[in-house]
Amino acid sequence: MKRLLEIISKTGIYRSTTSAQTGRFALMALCFAVVFAVVAGRLASFGFMATGGGDNLEALPVSTALHRPTMVDRKGRILATDIQAASLYADPQSITDLDDVVDQLSNVMPHLNTKALLRRLRGGGRFAWIERELSPRQQADIHELGLPGVAFVDEHHRVYPAGRTAAHVLGFVDIDNLGLAGMERYIDRSLNMMMVSSGARQASEPKIELSIDLGVQHALREELEDAIKRYQAQAAMGLVMDVMSGEVLAISSLPDFDPNQRSQAQDKGRFNRLTAGLFEMGSVFKIFTTAAALDLGVAGMESKYDATEPIRIASFTIKDFHAQRRWLTVPEIFTYSSNIGTAKLALDIGIARHKAFLSKLGMLQRIETELGETAHPIVPANWQKINTMTIAFGHGLSVTPLHVAAGAAALMNGGYEVTPTFLKKKPGRVPYAERVVSERTSKQMRGLMRLNVESGTARQADAKGFRVGGKTGTAEKVVNGRYSRDQLLTSFIGVFPADEPKYVILVMLDEPQRVEETQNRATAGVNAAPTARRFIERAATLLGVSHRSQTSQEFDELISASY
């Protein structure tokens, strides 16, 4: 240090070397030393610090499409999941000979539209898709070509392993993995379920559990397909719902589509008729009229109504299909499916109360589900006496089949409102559900439904041992403004087991024909009802309904009391 000072003093900067000056200089040097030490220490600490793995860019594969959560059925079977697929893109400006590149590519991918591709590549810009979602084989072949200016990017590609089985619930996605319909759209709308394209798969990925049971869904779809063949119907619909929670275990509307094939999904005829189709449901609507009459105390089980003569009102004539031409009790009106009797029941209820009851059951409003809103029921603008009389037996009010299933579930489950859902719920009744009819009415309605299967129009729905209850309905479709005698819409709404209700089932056939198997008849009792029976026999055990040869004694008494 001393030597250093000597050298400095010799340079002549410091003319005199007083002790005070030396001290000042030493202080300066010390300051510099400290600052340099800090810098050196900081450098060393940078060296020791590990660069965090989280923000390491190398670990993130490039990915453009959104990553969607996996959907599973209520038993954990995969219904929709993401897999990786490579997509090919080009940077046109770094390609010298566009024609040659396109030519070579079309050798590997013969289906390629070369003209459109060339136009895209010549359109300027530095990015153009060539082909999305390549197969691994194609990717390898293109890689082999070693073309400059084209490159791959990994994308998420949505697959539906079960194919068309549950198509209408799942919906489908577009090429960018955005949900366009069904539960896929629901996932997009509830933002918290979307995972931003982080590429790297997380260890514990959230799964969306649907209410659907794949096995039951398959059985329902198969039976409906079989019914279309047997009865030469145009379309078929079916729905199975838990009466307590409103969970839809199976829903099928044929014709349907394969969600793996996007182009097919947007076909007009393949829409979900159960939520988007509006129908005059016909006689199945009588369950609501009868329940209203019983619940409001307008009629009892032993009340009698005159069904001897058709009712003439305005230009309408209300007739019975299974005309008895005598006075009928309420259970008889139900099992003979008497239009006259039901219309008179509705008149006794009164227009205002009838309307209020249907509204309370949700028949006059849209239903909000995860699949989106249902179609809005077509309610008469000016609800007159004639409307109440015809709506009583299911004409003059168009609702979706889902409305009927939800309403029936409420009547069957002890009288609590049911909101249909496609997500898995904890078992049991929704705790805050509102009561729509009394426990007693619900029991009576179950009795009537069972009675109708034992000895009424729905006899062919009797799946032995599963204690089915139900009501059939045959509605004439409106063709060119008139009710057609040949174009029918037949339906069956059922509950099983009727003595301890677990599920409601709805089966509908659009324009079933008079075929040999049904002795040239086409009413619901010979097509919709047996379809429901075949399904229940096949799926009841899957649904955990135990087989018992008889209904409980208490329930038998209830039924025999209604004779």
Partner 1 sequence: MRIVTFFLATILVALAAVIYQVKYETRSLDNRVASLQRGIAEERDVIAILRAEWSHLNRPARLERLARAHLGLRPIQGNQISTDD
Binding footprint of partner 1 on the chain (CB under 8 A): 44, 47-48, 50-51, 53, 56, 58-59, 61, 77-79, 81-84, 159, 161-163, 165, 199-201, 203, 214-215, 217-219, 222, 463-466, 533, 537-538, 541, 546-550
Query: 286: part of which helix (H) or strand (E)?
Result: helix 286-295
Nearer to partner 1, 420 or 469 (CB): 469
Closest CA to 468 of 479, 459, 457: 459
Nearer to partner 1, 82 or 242 (CB): 82
Beta partners for residue 128, in sequence order:
90
Residue 443 to residues 187, 277, 300: CA-CA distances in angstroms? 39, 31, 13
For 347-498, list the strands marked E by DSSP: 368-369, 372-373, 398-399, 469-479, 482-496
Nearer to partner 1, 142 or 250 (CB): 250
Closest CA to 337 of 107, 345, 279, 387: 345
Nearer to partner 1, 448 or 540 (CB): 540
How far apart CA 251 and CA 237 sit, in angstroms, is 8
Residue 198, token pair as written in the block: 């982080």
Nearer to partner 1, 489 or 539 (CB): 539
Going by the DSSP 8-state scheme, the letter that residue 523 receives in this structure is: S
Nearer to partner 1, 84 or 513 (CB): 84
**Least Å from the CB of residue 162 to partner 1:** 5
User: Pairing mode, if any, of strands 368-369 and 235-242?
Assistant: unpaired
Nearer to partner 1, 5 or 276 (CB): 5
How far apart CA 333 and CA 342 sit, in angstroms, is 7
**Least Å from the CB of residue 462 to partner 1:** 9
Beta partners for residue 158, in sequence order:
82
CB 415 within 8 A of CB 530: no
**Least Å from the CB of residue 422 to partner 1:** 19
Q: Please name the residues in contact with 430: beta carbons below 8 A apart, sequence gap of 6 or more.
A: 244, 245, 246, 416, 418, 419
How far apart CA 175 and CA 323 sit, in angstroms, is 58
**Least Å from the CB of residue 201 to partner 1:** 4
Amino acid symbol at 264: Q
Q: Which contacts qualify for 139-146: CB closer than 8 Å, 24 or more apart?
A: 139/86, 139/88, 141/108, 142/88, 142/105, 142/108, 142/109, 145/104, 145/105, 145/108
Residue 563, token pair as written in the block: 């004779």
Cα dihedral angle (337, 536, 555, 405), rounded to 10 degrees? Answer: -60
The answer to whether 204 is a known catalytic residue is: no
Vertex 285, ends 283 and 291: CA angle to 5°?
120
Residue 134 to residues 114, 118, 152, 163, 312: CA-CA distances in angstroms? 17, 19, 10, 20, 68
Nearer to partner 1, 31 or 159 (CB): 159
**Least Å from the CB of residue 79 to partner 1:** 8
Residue with tokens 């109360």: 353
Catalytic hit among 87, 245, 252, 283:
283
**Least Å from the CB of residue 170 to partner 1:** 13
Residue 101, token pair as written in the block: 């590149």
**Beta-carbon neighbour count of residue 123 at 10 Å?**
9
How much of the chain is in helix, strand and coil states, percent to nearest 5?
A: 40, 20, 40
Residue with tokens 């589900």: 369
How far apart CA 331 and CA 220 sit, in angstroms, is 30
Give the N- to C-terminal CA distance of the chain in Å, as an integer: 121
Nearer to partner 1, 183 or 214 (CB): 214
Nearer to partner 1, 220 or 522 (CB): 220
**Least Å from the CB of residue 496 to partner 1:** 12
> Is the omega angle on the peptide bond into residue 497 within 30 degrees of 0, that is, cis?
yes
Beta partners for residue 134, in sequence order:
86
State residue 18 phi and psi, 5-degree precision.
-75, 160
Q: Please name the residues in contact with 362: beta carbons below 8 A apart, sequence gap of 6 or more.
A: 403, 406, 407, 417
Nearer to partner 1, 125 or 161 (CB): 161
* Residues that are catalytic: 283
